[in-house]
Amino acid sequence: MIWKKLIFLLTTVFPEAFSFRSRKNSMLKSIVFSSQDDTVDKELLHKQLKAYWMCRGSTTTIPTRFNMCPQTFDGWGCWEATPGGTVANIPCSSITNTHNTNNATWWCTPKHQWAKKAGKYLGDYSACSMKIVTDKHADTLARILHQMAYLEESPYASTAVKHIFETCVNDVLMRSQPKELYCHGVFDGWGCWNITKAGEVAFQPCPSFVPGFSPDRLAYKFCQKDGSWFQHPVTNKTWSNYTTCVDREDLKFRQRINNLYIGGYSVSVVALILSLIIFFYFKSLRCTRVTIHKNLFISFVVNNIMWIIWYIEVVQRPQVVLENGPACQVLHVIVRYFLVCNYLWMFCEGLYLHTLLVVAFVAEKKIMTWFYVLGWGTPMILIIVYTAVRSYQSRDTNFCWIEDSHYEWILSGPVCISMLLNFVFLINIVRVLVTKLRAVNSTDSHQIRKAVRATLILIPLLGLHYFVTPFRPEPRSPGEAVYEPISAIVTSFQGLSVAILFCFFNGEVMNILRRFVRQHLNVYHFDTPVQL
């Protein structure tokens, strides 16, 4: 959807929102044993980098003010926060030895600082059969870990990013780094930047895996004259300029579309709430048909409000998406739940109308019980399954779940089936209406027009507009400029159209409102004193 692209476009236009926060606790200190050889064990290095990210994802930071040594990764093992004056124990690292059942230890001094070994912050692995590494290997690992400390997301979370990162390690980061008048090779989370001479600008194609980016454009990174990469003045962090990957006109277009969604949903909410007030206020409108209308309208109201909150508080706030907090993930689940409720209550509407025309006798109290289960209960089961399955896959839990998951079919499958059945109901309803008109040998064109109007009214009610524009044009294609506004209008104003057709333009409702207005006008004129 268009709002997904807007998220990533806003992220790059406002770089301060994309700055990676460094962890205050030290996730690396110093690297292990060494020899005088000048080689780097490539396979071991990749295992250590993966172990580092596993450590970052599994440990909990506890501030040192609680007299504890901070969590850390020393190149081999992941050490959790430990109280001062105690010895921490972890199993011997599985990086090089998966069969050793002994433990490594590390003394946390009473000053809540990890003890040094041979001048380095390192656990005691004497009970472990550890592999000897070179000084160069240790230095390379320390340098790469220092760079990755500023990354917010693991480079192993995405297949595309993982490939770029591992290639960067092999081809750039493992190479000997110049000491002066050159900027070191670096991986910034999206791209790999080669060693660059001071005062020059490095260029590379924009990442193709970021929605809204064009691989035909070039991102760049400036190496300053002192041999350090340019830092953004707002974040004071090393910064790569990906704003050139974004088409500003395309960004403005997508912002307009999102504003159209917000405006349409807002108007629909107002109309639906007024309709609900009318339905609940007038007792003469209480019947099974109106009860189904009420539930449908309630699902519309909550669904539209949730979408408004989503567009304002998530889509237009890149930092919220990057932080990926539990609140925005819960909001995603709520939006999906009421969206499914919306379509299943549409199905209940179609099923009830079909039942009235086809079945001679309908037990309305009993059928309403089934409708409640179908309209509110079934979506709850579906959303629980969807949430459980999706949360199990870490790749589907990034960026507030804003990307489509492979498990969307858990929700979209039943929705599509319900809409297909509604389409069948619509055809059969028209067939029954035409048959009844012919049975009484009526040629009154007015009755035919009423049947046609009833059919047309069912279209927005049953959500059949969903099938009108099923194919989304390619991004930035000429058809997208036409498709997206139409899609936004049809989707966001659906609640308004339902409220108009089944409340404000309903003959029974209009008659009740006329009597209500006349009654109050008569009371007003009766109470007004006559001027002599």
Q: pLDDT tens digit string along 420-446? A: 888 788 778 777 777 766 655 554 445
DSSP string, 397-419: SSGGG-SPPTTTHHHHHHHHHHH
CATH topology of domain 248-520: Rhopdopsin 7-helix transmembrane proteins (1.20.1070)
Percent of the chain residues past pLDDT 70, beyond the cut = 79
- Reported residue count of the chain is 532
pLDDT band at 465 (very low <50, low <70, confident <90, very high): low
**Other CB atoms within 10 A of residue 436 CB:** 13
Q: Are 484 and 257 in contact (CB under 8 A)?
A: yes
pLDDT at residue number 166: 92
Out of 27-41, 310-324, 379-393, the most confident range is 379-393
pLDDT band at 34 (very low <50, low <70, confident <90, very high): very low
- Neighbouring-strand partners of residue 222: 201
CATH number of 1-16+178-246: 4.10.1240.10
**Other CB atoms within 10 A of residue 299 CB:** 25
pLDDT at residue number 373: 93
The arithmetic mean of pLDDT across residues 384-393, rounded, is 86
Task: Enumerate the domain spans of the chain.
Answer: 1-16+178-246, 23-149, 248-520
pLDDT at residue number 529: 47
pLDDT at residue number 299: 93
Q: Which CATH class is domain 23-149?
A: few secondary structures
Cα-Cα-Cα-Cα torsion 250, 252, 253, 258, nearest 10 degrees, comes to 130
Cα Rg for the chain, rounded, in angstroms? 32
Q: How high is the mean pLDDT of the chain?
A: 79
The arithmetic mean of pLDDT across residues 311-315, rounded, is 86
pLDDT at residue number 360: 60
pLDDT at residue number 384: 93
**Other CB atoms within 10 A of residue 78 CB:** 19
The arithmetic mean of pLDDT across residues 360-385, rounded, is 86
pLDDT at residue number 149: 84
* Lowest-confidence pick of 128-137, 138-147, 275-284, 466-475: 466-475
pLDDT at residue number 466: 57
Residue 36 has pLDDT above 60, yes or no: no
Return the percent helix, strand and coil in the chain, to nearest 5: 60, 10, 35
Residue 143 has pLDDT above 50, yes or no: yes
Domains 23-149 and 248-520 share a fold: no
pLDDT at residue number 274: 93
Residue 483 has pLDDT above 50, yes or no: yes
Residue 14 has pLDDT above 80, yes or no: no
Residue 514 has pLDDT above 60, yes or no: yes
pLDDT at residue number 101: 79
Q: What is the pLDDT of residues 328-350, one digit of tens each?
A: 889 989 999 998 998 899 888 88
pLDDT band at 22 (very low <50, low <70, confident <90, very high): very low
pLDDT at residue number 232: 84
* Lowest-confidence pick of 157-166, 246-255, 495-504: 246-255
pLDDT at residue number 302: 94
pLDDT at residue number 532: 30
**51, 285, 397, 495, 500 from 270: Cα distances, Å:** 53, 20, 33, 9, 12
Which residues, 6+ apart, have CB-to-CB distance to 303 below 8 Å? 335, 338, 339, 341, 342
Pick the more confident residue, 11 or 373: 373
Alpha-carbon distance 450 to 347, whole Å? 23
**104, 308, 410 from 41: Cα distances, Å:** 22, 52, 45
The arithmetic mean of pLDDT across residues 295-319, rounded, is 88
* Lowest-confidence pick of 88-92, 201-205, 311-315, 438-442: 438-442
Residue 269 has pLDDT above 90, yes or no: yes
